[in-house]
Amino acid sequence: MKTVFVCAWEYASGGGFDWYHTAEARDKAFEKEKENCNDPLLKKDNWTAFSFDVEIPEGMPDEDTASYIDFSLDDFCLSAGIKFPSWDLVVEAK
SS3 readout for the chain: CEEEEEEEEEECCEEEEEEECCHHHHHHHHHHHHHHHHCHHHHCCCCEEEEEEEEECCCCCHHHHHHHHHHCHHHHHHCCCEEECCCCCCCCCC
Q: Is residue 63 part of a domain?
A: yes
Residue 60 domain-assigned (yes or no): yes
Domain of 64, in residue numbers: 2-84
pTM of the model: 0.84
Tens place of pLDDT per residue across the chain (94 aa): 999 999 999 988 889 999 999 999 999 999 999 888 888 887 778 889 999 999 999 999 999 999 999 999 999 998 887 888 854 434 444 4
Is 93 part of any domain? no
